Structure formats: C-alpha cells, structure tokens
Amino acid sequence: METMQSTLPALILISPLVGFFINAVVLPLVLKGFAKTPANTAGGVATAFIGFSFILSVIAFSKLVGSDSAEPSLVINCFEWFNFGGLNIPFELRIDKLSGILVMIISGIGTLIHLYSTSYMHDDECVGRYFSYLNLFCFNMLLLVMGNNLPLLFFGWEGVGLCSYLLIGFWYTDTVKANAGKKAFIVNRIGDLGFLIGMFLLFRELGTLNLPEINMLLKNPDVVAKLMPSVTLICLSLFVGATGKSAQLPLYVWLPDAMSGPTPVSALIHAATMVTAGVYMIARLSPLFELSAVALSVVAHVGAITALFAGSIAIAQTDIKKVLAYSTVSQLGFMFLACGVGAYQTAVFHLMTHAFFKALLFLGSGSVIHACSGEQDMTKMGALKKHLPHTHFTMLIGSLAISGIPFFSGFFSKDEILYSSIALPGGVSYLFFIGVLTAILTAFYTGRMMSLTFYGDKRYSHDVEHHLHESPALMTFPLYVLAALAAFGGFLGVPHLLGDYLGHMPHYLSQWLDPVVPSKHLPLVGVKLALHEGVVMAGSSVLAILAYTAGVMLFKKKMFVTDLISGFRPIEKILSNKYYVDELYHAIIVTPIKKISHLSSAIIDKLLVDGAVNGLGSQVKKIGTGLRTLQTGDIQSYALMMLAGLVVVIFFIFKVLV
C-alpha cells in the first residue's frame, strides 16, 4: 500500500464549504438578505466552487492512476478531532481507488446539477439559500466518502441527512413539501440509530473505528475468531442504517415524498451518493460483511424484494418524478442484491452507471416540467417530442440505459448483477429470477414513461401548449454530458465474453477495484456455471427490448390505455396507492403515537407533572402567607418575639447543663 501525503482531499472538501459560506453569510450581509442575491450570482458562485472540487478530483484521480502501487491513496490528517477513553479520532481524509470514483461522481455530477439549477431556479425567491444548501450537501457527501474513519463517515452521513431535509422542504411555506422534508429527516434518524449501535459494537470488539485499521485487523485469524459471536449483529445494525439512507424496505417511504423538493435536488439526492451511501458503506466494509453469511443473505433478500416491490409500484404512477423515485428505490435494491451475493465491485459499477442515467432522467424530467408550466402528471402530457427535441433525445438515451438495452451503460452493470446472482453456491438462485422480473418491470415502466410523455396523443391544455418550448442551453448542456456518460459509461465494465470480440477489452473497473474491493462472485473470475453468461446476456437483452417496446406501444393511444387500465382496475388501484404502505404506517405507528402523546399530555403532563409542580407551589404559597403575618411592622411585637425566643434558648441551655 502506498500512502501519499497530499492536500488535495482537504482542498476538494473545503471548496464547496467556501461556496456555502459565501452564499449563506457573505452575500446576504452585503446585499441585506437572501432574497436580494441575484440567481446568476448565487448560481455562479456555487457552481464555480463545486466545479473547482471536480477539477481537483480529476488531478487526484490522475495521481492514483499514475502510481505504481496496487493500493495507492492520498491522505491528509487535518487535526485531532477528539481523543478520550482510548478512542482517538483524527479528522483524516483519504482518497483511494474506491473513494476516488465516488469523489469524481459527486463533484462531476454535482457541478452539472449546479449549472442546471442556475437556469431552472432563476425566477425562484431566496435562490441564494438554495445554492448554499446545494454546496453544503456536496461538502457532506464528499466528507462521507473521504472520511478515513467511521465517525467521520457518519458525520457526513448525518450531514447529507440534514441537507436533504433543508432541500426537500425548501419551499417550506407549502405544508406538504415541509412535511416531506420532516418525513425524510425522521425516517433517516431511525436507520441512523442502527448505524450508531453497529459502530459502538465494532469499537467494543476491535478497539478502533479507523477504516484501514479495521480491514487490517480482519486479516488476523485471532481477531476474527474473537469477533465471530457478534459479527452478525454488527453487520445487521450497520445495514439498518443503510436501509434508511438508501431507502430499502421497510424504511424506503421517505424517498418518494422527497420529490416535493426542486427537481435538481431530486437529481442530486438520487444520483450523487446520498441514497447510494449505504451501498458505499457495505463495499467499504466488505471484509467485515464477508464474515457473516446470515448478514449477507439478509442484504441480498432485502435488496431483491425491495427492487421488485418498488418496480411494481412504478408501473402505476402518473407523476413523472414519482416514477423515477420508485425506480431509484428499485435500482438501489439491485445494488444491495449485488452486495449480498458478494459482488461488491458490481454494486459499485451499477452505482456509477445509475448516477449517470438517473441524474439524466431527473434533469430531463425537470426540463419537461419546466416546459409544461410545472405540470408533473404524465397523463396530461403526450406528443412532446416535437416541442422538446433535445430533452427527448437525451431522455431517450437515459431510458434505454436504465432499461438495460444493449449497449448502453445499464446493460453492462444490470446484467453483471443478474449473472452474479447465479454464481452463488448451489447453482441458479431464485434471487436471479426476482432480478430478471424486476429488470422486465424496469424496461416496461420506463417505456411507459417515455410514451406517455413524448409520444402518442396530445393531452395537455391549450395554456400549456402556448407555453411549450425547449429548455435553455444551461439546462440542455448538462443533459447532453450525462447522455454521453449514460451511453458509453458501461464500457468501463465490459464482460470478458464481449471483451474478446472488442479486441480483448478488459473490465477496467474490476481491475481498478480489485486491490480495495475484492468480489467473490464477479462473473469475470472464471466461475464455471451450467448457464453461460452469454445466455444470461442474450436472454435479458431480448426481454428488456420486448418490455421496453411494449411499454412504449401500449401507452401511445389514450383510448387503448383507458381500456387496458380498466381491465386491471383492482391491481392498478393497489399499485397506484403504493400497496397502502403509508396508510398502514399511519394506522399502526403514527396514529398510536399521536394517541399516546395526547394521553400523556392530558394525564401525565397536566395531572401528574403540572399537578405536582402546581401543588408544591400552592403549599409554598400558603406557608408564605402564614409566615407573612409575622411581619407586622410593630416594634413591640418584634420585642415580644425576641424575648420569647430568648426565654426558649435559656430554657434549652438550662436543661442541657443541668
């Protein structure tokens, strides 16, 4: 391992924090308020500082590429954070081959989203506050992936949770949007409790929370033997945190409501690490999770079930952002399925490709909403292709990528997950078939989304038609950059079967991550299976093409769509109402807690607490009232009381002495 001391990690981290300070403090002081900050000024400052982070991250990545070591890393120990009780936590940042990929994604896609937001939020009030939150969000995401110990990672973990609350509820005067922000904050706190418990247990067993030290200790057989009785509990506790942050069952419910925030915020939350933080954490601690077959099985099953569950809901949503939100939950399930079967590199690969096409699809949906005067209901769109040619073209690429159509980025990473799920001991796993069914649903609802939005009959109003126009260059430029990444990013992970036909092209991502994130079941290690990867690839490609085509063709005609849905009305109602999970949570959790709270307020607080305090006060008042009669102001009375007191004292002394 080659550790290079460098200031680059600190500079990458500090840059968006400086942008936050300028937009949150300096400009409001100079211009006397957030509302006075021009959108171009606030957006320009925020974009410049996160863009500077991206430039520095490219330089840092080039240093890793140029190193002769198999495990190079750039490290800086900024200062001693705290030191007590045998726990020494330095504020130490590290960029290695895993975090280097994430830093590039965060700063690169973050820059594009900031640039897009400069135009998208141009007419909004308090845009300076918005951009300050965006910069702070990126700061915390960078801290999460560069933190060299679990407390520092957790600091960033909590930071992005806070920023998501601020950004989702940015339009806080709207009660629905404000409640969505609170929901995200509260649900994530539930998962974070599990993360804290896992950290405490890990420190109790290993005596350190430094990530390199943890991975080094896990190579010691004696340490592993000592850890084994509690390793499953530790891993499951950490995974509870991941289910909250990465929106897996049962803590996924906050993510669809997060669509209440501005659309660029949705792109940032879904694409640039926050919701993939759980996947990153498991990949980073993969040597720990490898010690517990039970924990890995739970991760795989929760991921697979979540992927299918959310994918089925996405089919019946009419809000374009809700379709993409449930799609994100489903794709995150794919990533956890990969982690659960030991294909950590594949999970990181899909994390990367997902960042490309999901950021593209969200920003594309923002362009559609912008053109349709804020309308998000796809049943009130249709035939937008001719009005929004750039948006349509780029979103088409994103939709083909997420659907797994050859040879777009999602095709490579999605098929690798499916193939990895076969590579389990014992042959073909039922998890593979869940993955295949989810992939079919993904292609279908994505085709449906494109059809309802861009093709078929015109369903928008005359007022919307009068307003229709393509988005400005500041919004379409990021779309084209992301479209290029979504189209060609998958070639960083070409499977060996295709690589042989492409001039022996290697699986670059696998070679890059091997030293830091080994994968047991990656399909490139020569595992001999009865079902060849070519069969999986060909079969999934055919199914994806058929499902995507069906989604497009079935929803082109309004009358046919109506007839189709009416035939499946009971199922459609269940799916459109999201299996009534929110209603169930409200009935069994929210309502009982409210009733208990009202009961506590009426009985415990008013009768017991207030009764005790008020009763004590009342008695003190009565005693004071009685004693007040002694203060008469009459000198003769005071002299008489003094004489009486003197008599009592003399009598007491006499009794004691005699």
- In this predicted model, what pLDDT tens digit does every residue of 558-584 receive, in sequence order? 545 555 555 567 888 888 888 999 899
Mean pLDDT of the chain: 89
pLDDT at 594: 87
Report the C-alpha gap between 210 and 206 in whole angstroms: 10
pLDDT at 527: 45
In eight-state DSSP terms, residue 544 is H
For 30-89, the three-class secondary structure string (H helix, E strand, C coil) is HHCCHHHCCHHHHHHHHHHHHHHHHHHHHHHHHHHHHCCCCCEEEEEEEEEEEEECCEEE
- State yes or no: pLDDT of 359 exceeds 70: yes
Residue 72 β-bridge partners: 2
Arithmetic mean of pLDDT, 270-281: 84
Residues with Cβ within 8 Å of residue 114, at least 6 apart in sequence: 43, 46, 47, 50, 51, 131, 134
Percent share of the chain, pLDDT over 90: 64
Length, in residues, of the chain: 658
Alpha helix positions (H), 586-634: 591-599, 610-628
Query: Residue 119: which pLDDT band, with cuts at 50, 70 and 90?
Result: very high
CB 385 within 8 A of CB 371: no
Over the stretch 315-348, which tens digit does the pLDDT of each residue have?
999 999 999 999 999 999 999 999 999 999 999 9
CA distances from 80 to 11, 88, 89, 91 (A): 18, 8, 6, 6
**When comparing pLDDT for 458 and 18, which is higher?**
18
**In b/e form, how buried is each residue of 102-116, taking b as 16+ CB within 10 angstroms?**
bbbbbbbbbbbbbbb
pLDDT at 640: 82
Over the stretch 430-455, which tens digit does the pLDDT of each residue have?
899 999 999 999 999 999 999 999 99
Query: Residue 151: which pLDDT band, with cuts at 50, 70 and 90?
Result: very high
Our measurement of the distance from residue 24's CA atom to the centroid of its chain's CA atoms, rounded to an integer in Å, reads 24
Which of 434, 389, 358, 428 is CA-nearest to residue 113? 358
Report the C-alpha gap between 415 and 423 in whole angstroms: 13
**DSSP assignment string, 141-158:** HHHHHHBSBHHHHHHHHH
**When comparing pLDDT for 602 and 643, which is higher?**
643
Arithmetic mean of pLDDT, 240-248: 94
Query: Residue 613: which pLDDT band, with cuts at 50, 70 and 90?
Result: confident
pLDDT at 637: 78
